[in-house]
Structure 1
Amino acid sequence: MYVLLFHALIVTGLTLRVLLRDDLAPSSRLAWFMVIFILPVAGAIVYFLFGEASLGRSASRRRATIRSVWAESPAILGSGSDLLESIDPAYQPAFSYAASINGFQVKTGNRAELMADGLEARRRLLSDIDAAKVSVNVLYYIWLDDNTGTAVAQALMRAVARGVQCRAMTDGLGSRQLIKSRLWRQMSDAGVMTEIALPLNRPLFTMLTSRIDLRNHRKITVIDGQITYCGSQNCADPEFLVKPKFAPWVDIMLRIEGPVVAQNQLLFASDWMVARKGSLQEFPLSPDTHANGFAASIIGDGPTERAGATAQLFASLIGTATRTLTLSTPYFVPNTTVLNAIQAAAYRGVHVTLIFPERNDSWVVAAASRSFYQAILASGACIFEYIPGLLHSKTLTIDGCITFLGSSNMDLRSFDLNYENDILLQDVATTKAVEQRQEDYLKQSREVTVVQVESWSLPTKLWNNAIATIGPVL
């Protein structure tokens, strides 16, 4: 009797909580109802731990205070005039929406170089750190003590030895092995300022006050306030020793100079100042402007920004495509907004190409992703699966002139739970280079056809669709 009453109270209380939330889509509510009703006690624990994307009031207030400091740098944020003067009218709505997320307006005078591969990105990064004269600020979700991770740490220590101010920050979960390593201690002992984003040193407190799976997924490097790197590569070798059977990890990185460097610097500063008190005056925010440089803006989303912003940005960008749209992502679990935008683009005649890894390090994501294949293919879009390794590049190119690239996956974690950083730019040359890289991926991929999807066994289809059903709570 008492057990049944307790069960009823749990189900009723959580049902009311889910119904009263204004930030949930109907599909998410339905998914949580399934979890709560099918697993009343376990479901309650799952909802308590993972049901609401909140860092707690204290952390949210701290980030809001830091965001207000950004307003003191109007030259960095921009005024919006560059958008009207430099962005094609067809794409202005998407750029305007991007600026609404955290106030970073379009800035002209930028230039970028696409790194040939992960090893080239590491070589250039180390060279830039070794040439630094003022400061180096780095933030990585995953930082391993492998060849790449050790080389970057040693470069930072060399920089400190010659008087350069160096800050190193890494995520408490993604880099938990490094944080416990001798290398991390060596960096600190050498004078590199080290901090942990969203630390897990008090896991019980974290679980009681926020969500343990809210992570800082950013990959930011800013050197002397003049150079930044943006893309998908963590501070790790392509062999990615923590998950070697999926290697090589295939990433993409842009080396960027120009006004948007300061915007990436502001993102780094905001994360740093949450962990350690400081002032924006400590960060160089006056990068050079380059003649005939392209227009771009940085986007920094996260659980303390507006809910749904990244998904709406993807939908806005996809909605501007008129000829071609090519997308690569390792984790594809779109919400209805993004899925409908992809289908609509294909239905109106845009050549839509989606590239995913054939083997995914997340079996849950792999199953959920494939549940969408039938509907996407029916719209006329093309799907390819990359064979040689785990395609980790997150790229979106549109009509040969627009590129969106960075740390954001097209999944619900990037939409709602992770801090991300990306760049949105209009430039034919840079977009052509990224499109060529996408073409290289396609040459090493196999196309997924309607016939193949229809031939999947009944248990496979049931499994994929069942996983996708609870996708909103993953």
Structure 2
Amino acid sequence: MAWLLVVMVLPYLGALAYLLLGQTSVGRKRVARLKSEFSGLPRPEDADGWAAPENAPDLHPEFAPLFRVGQSISGYPAVGGNTARLMENSDAAIDEMVAAIDGARDHVHLLFYIWLDDHNGQKVAEALMRASGRGVACRAMVDDLGSRALLKSGLWRRMGAAGVRTRSALRVGNPLLRIFNGRIDLRNHRKIVVIDNAVTFCGSQNCADPAFLPKARYGPWVDAVMRFTGPVVRENQHLFASDWMSNGGDDISVLLTAPLPPAQAGFAAQVVGTGPTFRTLAMPEMFTSLIFAARRSVFITTPYYVPTPALQQALCACPARGVDTRIILPARNDDFAVGATSRSYYESLLEAGVKIYEFQHGLLHTKSLTMDGQITLIGSANMDRRSFDLNYENNILLQDADTTTAMRARQEEYLAQSRLVPFEEVQAWGPGRRLWNNALAIVGPIL
């Protein structure tokens, strides 16, 4: 419907835009290669040590179906024996990554959607070059469009000259030719760091300063990252390997057959990878399942809210069954169209009893969901159509009271820097503002 509207209003320009952006396809050859690499790799659960008693996932009966949903999406099972630590802030997350790289003995794998040649970006690059200099196999991959400035920089060339193996994901090439072999804007939005098959980082943060200079007027960008150990690391390694090898990198499948580190006590967790070559609408299905499963509380932070009808209905249904339902969005969005589209859903959410807050001190970029004091979902996926339909994303779903308490405390910190949006305020919006928000919501799926 959105495309019909665009073509009717702008016949020639709209038709050209549809040719460029109208089909959710990365190209037949890419699809075949991506699917082949993902399915052909050794499975994490086949590694020696996976069946250790400590790795058996001790899932609460209420939550076990949620992990089955996750497994149905990307095939990774829930596994026990994991630990996690929430990084204090964005700079601390980079410092932890640099420290882990400096301690690496065998390999370092990094994948970022955006990697900037700024202070934090250079710190990570320098750590990679140091590691490569002492014989550690370092592999760095960035999205071809999201990190286009880095790919043209001297820093990227210096990394390659220092022995760091570099790749770009989903190369655009000639944009005019690309339209005949898949969309330009289907991107790899993942953020994955894996070190020595023992440590992984997962969260919303790109490899950049919080000031995020390309869009500094919206800053600081506020992110959350967790550092994980345990068998879930091997699932993130598998996801990285599938991206690396399908984008022309060397064969690293042998790392997936290495024995797991000694088992330890810990919680159940699972990697949930999504993208155009996975099941359609997989990520909103994950979000919707979590929200419908909530019995006491559900707390969401996301920078972009352009939901599917099912996701919107799931959130609206929560307060009716007594669930404390809260969502924090940025007060100033770096994408004006998405910001207006998000506000077009405010009235029905507030009418249902959902508490909406707008973050006042920068752009809240954290993508997190906590539920009933036990479940946390953290990663790269936003609650918008681009994330649902067009981007490759990675998240980790976990069941643990302590880790969820830590994530909930961080969400409460965001809450203290946010303003509650009153229902009366939204009801008082004038016809011009409503028309603007709703018009953008109509074409929201293609923005």
2:59, 2:196 → 1: CA distance? 28
CA deviations on 1:407-440 (whole Å, 9 max, x unpaired) are 0000001101000000000000000000000000
Structure 2 unpaired stretches of 5+: none
What's the counterpart of residue 379 of structure 2?
Answer: 406
Amino acid at match of 1:180: K
The question of 1:274 aligning with 2:283 is answered: no
Paired residue for 1:377?
Answer: 350
Residue 291 (structure 1) shift: 2.7
Contact 1:326 1:353 in 2 (8 A): yes
1:335-414 aligned at under 5 Å gives the runs 335-414=308-387
Aligned to 1:446: 419
Measure how far apart 1:283 and its partner are.
2.8
Partner of 2:19: 48
Q: 1:436 aligns with which of 409, 412, 425?
A: 409
Specify the code of the residue in structure 1 equivalent to 2:309: T
Matched residue, 1:11: none
Match of 1:127 in 2: 99
Cα 1:289–1:457 change in 2 (3 A) is farther
Q: Could you say which residue in structure 1 is the equivalent of 2:29?
A: 58
Question: TM-score, normalised on structure 1?
Answer: 0.91
Tell me if the contact between 1:246 and 1:359 (Cα under 8 Å) persists in the aligned partners: yes
Question: Is contact 1:111–1:290 with CA below 8 Å preserved after alignment?
Answer: no
2: CA distance, partners of 1:398 / 1:216: 27
CA drift at 1:457? 1.9
**TM-score, normalising length from structure 2?**
0.96
Secondary structure at 1:158 match in 2? helix
- Counterpart position of 1:7: none
Asked if 1:105 corresponds to 2:77, the answer is: yes
Deviation of the 1:85 alpha carbon: 5.4
Between 453-462 and 130-139, the greater mean CA deviation after superposition: 453-462
CA distance in 2 between partners of 1:373 and 1:286 (Å): 50
After superposition, the Cα gap between the structure-2 partners of 1:192 and 1:282, relative to the gap in structure 1 and judged at 3 Å, is farther
Cα deviation for residue 37 of structure 1 reads: 2.8
Q: Which has the higher contact order (CA 8 A, sep 6+)?
A: 2
Q: Is the 8 A contact 2:121 2:207 kept in 1?
A: yes
Question: Counterpart in 1 of 2:435?
Answer: 462
* Correspondence for 1:90 among 57, 62, 66: 62
**Is the 1:110–1:294 contact (alpha carbons within 8 Å) kept by the matching residues of 2?**
yes
**What secondary structure, in the 3-state scheme, does the structure 2 residue paired with 1:173 have?**
coil
Distance in 2 of aligned mates of 1:212 and 1:294: 39
For 1:148 and 1:286, the matched residues in 2 are separated by 33
Aligned mates of 1:259, 1:74 — CA distance in 2:
9
Shift of 1:458: 1.4
Aligned counterparts, 1:174-253, within 5 A: 174-253=146-225
Q: How many residues align?
A: 444
- Output the CA distance in 2 between the equivalents of 1:464 and 1:289: 54
Cα distance change of structure 1 residues 226 and 82 upon mapping to structure 2, 3 Å threshold: closer
- Distance in 2, matches of 1:148 and 1:76, equals 35
RMSD: 1.8
Tell me which residue corresponds to 1:262: 234
On the 8 A contact 1:330/1:394 being kept in 2, the answer is yes
1:139 aligns with 2:136: no
Task: Tell me which amino acid in the other structure corresponds to 1:191.
Answer: G
Distance 2:44 2:97 in 1: 27
Structure 1 stretches lacking a partner, 5+ long: 1-29
Amino acid at match of 2:140: A
Deviation of 1:183 (Å): 0.2
Instruction: Quote how far apart the aligned CAs of 1:38 are.
Output: 2.8
Distance 1:381 1:85 in 2: 32
SS in structure 2 opposite 1:306?
coil
Contact kept? 1:262, 1:286, Cα under 8 Å: no
